[in-house]
Amino acid sequence: MKIFVDTAKIEEIRQVKEWGILEGITTNPTLLSQTGKPWKEAALEILREVPDKPVSLEVIATDFEGMLKEARELAKFGDNVVVKIPFTTEGIKAVKVLTAEGIKTNVTLVFSSLQALVAGKIGATYVSPFIGRLDDIAYEGLLVLEEIVHLYEIYGIETEIIAASVRNVDHVRRCALLGVDIATIPFSIIKQMLYHPLTEIGLKRFLEDAKKANISIL
Ligand code: G3P
């Protein structure tokens, strides 16, 4: 399972990149608004920071023609741009055209396995089911995700599944166990994934014992 970071904050992206585990970035208008920078400046900064990883940038238009125009404009920002298109009837029409033009797409705001099936049929590069937001309305997001993984397997759909709206470390673990292609994870959760109290306690003990045994390697 690839690790994408669900953020538009450059400091967070740099940190995950430094850890050597960054495989892509997803943004949305909410995340861009949280940077405190003009959206275009923030987007271009991200693209410069990671020119070799996919970066999802979302359209704002909701009509077919408007989405196409915005998507073509966003695609000019860099070869690694993936255009995020919401799952609406206008959106799926636009994805079909963009796919034919060779523009990479990420169908977002997906909440059911049938929406994901359609995203696959129209040739989307990625599909983003939102698991946390389903949990929020007392519907198990991971069950929908499991169905999508299953459907994609039985029909040999090549669209990559990005588990989005990931809210905790257990979501990440379960996504990995389901065989999801990608999880896009908020920075705070990536930090939690890298920490284990037993590692900290164990290391403290090893260092104390190294001192007792006068171990000095260099
Ligand atoms: O990238 C979109 C998605 O991950 C949003 O998550 O937490 O706002 O539901 P959330």
Express each pLDDT in 173-183 by its tens digit: 999 999 999 99
Ligand 1 binding site (Cβ under 6 Å of any ligand atom): 6, 26, 28, 130, 132-133, 164-165, 184
Q: Which of 40, 84, 93, 191 is catalytic?
A: 84
Q: Please state, for a pLDDT cut of 70, what percent of the chain lies above it.
A: 100
Closest CA to 55 of 97, 6, 100, 102: 6
Active site residue 84: yes
pTM of the model: 0.96
Q: For 120-138, what is each residue's pLDDT tens digit?
A: 999 999 999 999 999 999 9
Going from the Cα of 51 to the center of ligand 1, the distance in angstroms, rounded, reads 23
Neighbours of 121 (CB within 10 A): 14
User: What is the structure's pLDDT at 123?
Assistant: 96
Q: What average pLDDT score do residues 140-164 get? A: 98
User: What is the structure's pLDDT at 134?
Assistant: 98
User: What is the structure's pLDDT at 151?
Assistant: 98
Give residue 147's pLDDT band: very low, low, confident or very high (50, 70, 90): very high
- Mutation to probe ligand 1, out of 133, 167, 182, 184 (largest number of atoms < 8 A from CB): 133
Going from the Cα of 165 to the center of ligand 1, the distance in angstroms, rounded, reads 4
User: What is the structure's pLDDT at 11?
Assistant: 98
Q: Please state, for a pLDDT cut of 90, what percent of the chain lies above it.
A: 100
Neighbours of 40 (CB within 10 A): 12
Closest CA to 184 of 129, 121, 123, 113: 129
Backbone angles phi, psi at 29, to 5 degrees: -60, -35
